[in-house]
Amino acid sequence: MTDETAKAAEADASPATEARTAEAPAADPAELLAQENADLKDRLLRTLAEMENLRRRTEKEIKDARDYAVTGFARDLLSVADNFDRALSHAPAELRADEAMGGKALIEGVELTGRELLKTLEKHGVKKLSPLGEKFDPNLHQAMFEIPNPQVPAGTVLQVMQDGFAIAGRVLRPALVGVAKGGPKTAEAAPAEAPAGVDKTV
């Protein structure tokens, strides 16, 4: 390479080198510190937000565990409550009137025990659903059959075969019901027109 060629190459390289130097000026320590400070602040805020979300999630899980802890036990006791109702519904009228042989006291004892059972269940968040005369709700009731009755609005619960139960707003067991058919439609009849046998518990 001749001296002239070398000088020309050097002259060509000089502007590129100057451009690179201009593009990457020496980093200002104050700017670097401010950038690092902003990054750390951002990470801290993200961590705090994650911790708050975790705290809320944990609180909800604890509340759900407390509310629904007795679900299995309560479900097992529902058949006991049903048996109290069955026993009372099959008690003859003479037994209720028989004070001499203790029939009346026996019936009153069974009624008292049944009420006490329901009160204890309610104390633990389990509530009885007795929808007689209410509008059919597929989320709470299971329609077993339809009853033709033009006197009442269609979709009204006319017969309860088995009471339902809910725990903390969640259906434990839907009420088994007979629903009116053929009466005048109510303003909000859309959900009431669910077909018989709907079992849509939440």
CATH at residue 182? 2.30.22.10
Residue 104 falls within a domain, yes or no? Answer: no
pLDDT reading at 49 higher than 90: yes
Nearest to 136 by CA among 151, 163, 116, 157: 157
What tens digit of pLDDT does each residue of 101-142 get? 788 888 899 999 999 999 999 998 899 988 999 999 999 999
Number of domains in the chain: 1
User: Would you state the pLDDT for residue 91?
Assistant: 84
Domain range holding 142?
126-194
Residue 141 lies in a domain: yes
Tell me, yes or no, whether 110 lies in a domain: no
Q: Is residue 148 part of a domain?
A: yes
pLDDT tens-digit readout, 144-168? 999 998 888 989 999 999 999 999 8
